[in-house]
Amino acid sequence: MDDSDEALMAWVARGDEPAYRQLTLRHLPAMLGLARRILGNTADAEDVAQEAMLRVWTHAPRWQPLAAFRTWLTRVVVNLCLDRKRRAPWVALEEAGEVVDPAPDASEAAEYDERERLLAGAIAVLPARQRAAIVLTYSEGMSNAQVAEILETSVSAVETLLVRGKQNLRARLRVSDEGK
C-alpha cells in the first residue's frame, strides 16, 4: 500500500480512520513544534496542533492535491497561529535561556545567552506575519518561495517581511544594548 501523505489523505477522504491516525502520528510532532515556535506558548500550541489535525479529518473530502500535503498542513497551522496570536499575549520560550553553542569563556556565553533571551523577547512582539515569515525561514529552513506559498503571498512580499522583521529585531536589540 502506498503510504505517501497524499495516498493516505485519499483514504482519509473516504473516512478511513487508521489512515488518519497514521498521518497524525507522522506530522503532529513537527506541527506542534512549529506552533510553539510561532506562539511561544505550549498550551496554545497544543490547541492549535489539535485543531489543525482535526481539520485534516474534517476537510479531507474537500482536499485537493494542488500542493504537497505537508505544505497545506503547515499553512493551516500558521493561519491558526496567526488568528490566535493577533491579540493573545506572548509568553517567552522556555528554552530561550538554553545555550548549547560552545563559547570561549563564561562571560561570552552569558552575553550570548542574554542576547538570545532578548532576541526571543523581540520576536515575541513582532507583527504576526513578520514573525511567521522569520520562524518559517530560520526555524523550518524553508525557502522564500515555500514561505510565500504557505503565507499565500508573493516571494517579494516575503522578502519584505523578512527584511522588515530583521530590521525590527535589530532595532529592539540595539535599544536593549543602549539601555544597559
Partner 1 sequence: MIDDQFEKLLRHALRRKEPSQTDVERVLKRLAGPLPGQKFALWRLPTVLLDWQFAPAWPRVAVLACCAALGFSIGIAGIDRQFVNADAVSSYVGGGGIGMIAFEPDPFPGGRP
Cβ–Cβ < 8 Å for 138, 109: no
**62 forms part of the interface with partner 1 (CB under 8 A):** yes
Residue listed under C-alpha cell 538554553 = 98
According to CB under 8 A, which residues from 71 to 90 bind partner 1? none
Build a one-symbol-per-residue string for 118-157: x at contacts with partner 1 by CB under 8 A, - elsewhere: -xx--x----------xx--xxxx----------------
Alpha helices in the chain (DSSP H): 5-13, 17-39, 42-59, 69-85, 106-124, 128-134, 144-151, 155-179
Nearer to partner 1, 33 or 127 (CB): 33
> Rounded distance, CA 135 to CA 141, Å?
9
- Measure Cα distances from 104 to 110, 111, 112, 118 in Å: 11, 12, 11, 21
**15 forms part of the interface with partner 1 (CB under 8 A):** yes
Nearer to partner 1, 131 or 148 (CB): 131
Stretch that binds partner 1, among 58-66, 75-83, 142-150, 153-161 (CB under 8 A): 58-66
33: CB partners within 8 A, 6+ apart: none
Stretch that binds partner 1, among 1-9, 77-85, 92-100, 152-160 (CB under 8 A): 92-100
**29 forms part of the interface with partner 1 (CB under 8 A):** yes
Residue 12, Cβ density class (10 Å: 0-12 exposed, 13-18 middle, ≥19 buried): buried
Contact footprint for partner 1 (CB under 8 A): 13, 15, 17, 20, 24-25, 28-30, 32-33, 36-37, 42, 45-46, 49-50, 53-54, 57-62, 95-96, 99, 101, 112, 115-116, 119-120, 123, 134-135, 138-141, 166, 169-170, 173
